[in-house]
Amino acid sequence: MTTSREALRRLAVGTLMPGFVGTTVPAWVEREYAAGLASVCLYGANVVGPDQLAQLCASLRSAAPGLLVAVDEEGGDVTRLHYPTGSTQPGNALLGRLDDTALTRDSASAIGRELAAYGINLDLAPVVDVNSADENPVIGARSFGADASHVARHSAAYVTGVQSVGVAACAKHFPGHGDTVTDSHHALPRVHVEAHVLDARELEPFRAAIEAGVACIMTSHVVVSAIDAERPATFSPAVLRDVLRGRLGFDGVIVSDALDMAGASAETGIPEAAVRALVAGCDLLCLGSETTEECYLAVVEAVVEATASGRLPVARLEDAVARVALLSKYFGVKAEFGSEGKREARGWLNGALVEGFEVGDAVRAWLDAPGQPVIVQVASDPNLAVGRVAWGPRAVGLTTEEADVPAGAKVAVAGRGLSAGHPLWVVADRLRAQGHPTIVVDCGWPRGGADLVTFGGSVVVAEALGRYLGVPPR
């Protein structure tokens, strides 16, 4: 029996998760929901503040009550709800350092309650990548650590925490983005490890997340040569069908990483990438931030045409739609959304965060030294996953400009992504030359040379740092 193009179109849009431009709901999103659109994803550019976000989500729910509303709310460096002001959660790397799975679960459930209060029912978190490459430009402090079993325990705790409050979790980036030194937002990374290493390291946290009942798993735009030497995971049946569905037994929704990333679509364009992802086994396609109506319609047409021509089997498309529809039904928004939870208290942290800091001998000497303690924060370019979110001591009013450092003060110079060429090192040398006792604070994943490492730059981490260094808010 031939399926009409109208029916194929409804199937196609049932697999799509576009972003959109602006801080209000575009008319085309409302129209496409009526035509079967499965999901939308909110990004930092869609958020001005809590009241505006609440209104945006209420408008979405009014126009599209069954829509899956997704967001990358990892906690720590990557936040969308708190994009203008900085995350109220410590983030994976510091939670991993503290190594208390109950604390990780509590942090995740706090995130879940906040999402549920806005009517958001899909959290594109946690990151379960094992950060085995210190120079990794995109994972870093988003990871629970560099040991697979350690990451696995915390990944399962995070999944349990988010889903315990009725929000779907999504473990990412399968089969692993931790052993790369290339950001897939900009290019196509490749992981060259033997199959037994991949199985014991990269796949172990995904096994744990699956055992914890994770609803979704997100693909990576990474070529993993031990499985498929030619195609990125997002477009590889060997990765998605043979390994994820077959060997690991995952039966939930496979979500593509954003298809506007260079690692996915730089050579083919987003519409072709969408078709390839569905053919390979993805169920829900994240089209990327600031999706335009024109781009969205081009993707729809490409998927319809691929299905009509037989390149994308109708059965594969129907299977994807059915999985997404089941997810939406199971994690449907509760009628009482918006009632509470939008501003989670931080009291549960109980001052524990400092215990996860890495503190060198120079810091102890600096704390004992005379002089007024001040913090100078040096600008550090973020990766595209993090964006321009507020971070570090500056986000909580703890910093002094270098030119305003008073005579006799002792200085902590803070930054993140501290490669050898980072401008922070010049600032620190300059302050030392002026006679200031000076230490270097890395607010991210350590790359060597820092005296103190916080393993994250969220506002709660910055507040803990300020208390530890004795620097009061300005």
Q: Give percent helix, percent strand, percent coil of the chain, each to the nearest 5.
A: 40, 15, 45
Per-residue CA distances from 268 to 261, 287, 407 (Å): 11, 14, 58
CA-CA distance, 289 to 284, in Å (whole number)?
Answer: 15
Give residue 455's region: left, alpha or beta (phi > 0; psi -120 to 50): left
CA-CA distance, 444 to 446, in Å (whole number)?
Answer: 6
CA-CA distance, 279 to 55, in Å (whole number)?
Answer: 37
CA-CA distance, 362 to 251, in Å (whole number)?
Answer: 51
β-bridge partners, 190: 223
* Residue in the structure block whose two tokens are 């200085």: 411
- Of the candidates 74, 46, 212, the one whose C-alpha atom is nearest the C-alpha of residue 139 is 74
Q: Are 332 and 119 in contact (CB under 8 A)?
A: no
**Vertex 187: Cα angle to 204 and 257 (nearest 5):** 50
User: Cβ of 457: how many Cβ atoms within 10 Å?
Assistant: 32
CA 310 to chain centre: 35
CA-CA distance, 112 to 71, in Å (whole number)?
Answer: 11
- In the set 173, 185, 221, 436, the catalytic residue is 185
Q: What is the per-residue DSSP string for 304-343?
A: HHHHHHTSS-HHHHHHHHHHHHHHHHHTPPPTTTTSS-SS
Q: Are 49 and 23 in contact (CB under 8 A)?
A: no
Active site residue 177: no
Q: Are 19 and 40 in contact (CB under 8 A)?
A: yes
CA-CA distance, 296 to 15, in Å (whole number)?
Answer: 12
Q: Coil, strand, or helix at residue 461?
A: helix
Active site residue 404: no
Per-residue CA distances from 348 to 102, 303, 344, 352 (Å): 11, 47, 10, 9
Pairing of strands 358-359, 452-453: antiparallel
Let me know if 266 is exposed, middle or buried by CB neighbors in 10 A (0-12, 13-18, 19+): middle
Q: Are 74 and 139 in contact (CB under 8 A)?
A: no
- In the set 72, 123, 183, 257, the catalytic residue is 257
Tokens of 229: 């030497």
Q: Give the residue numbers annotated as catalytic, written as ranges.
A: 185, 257
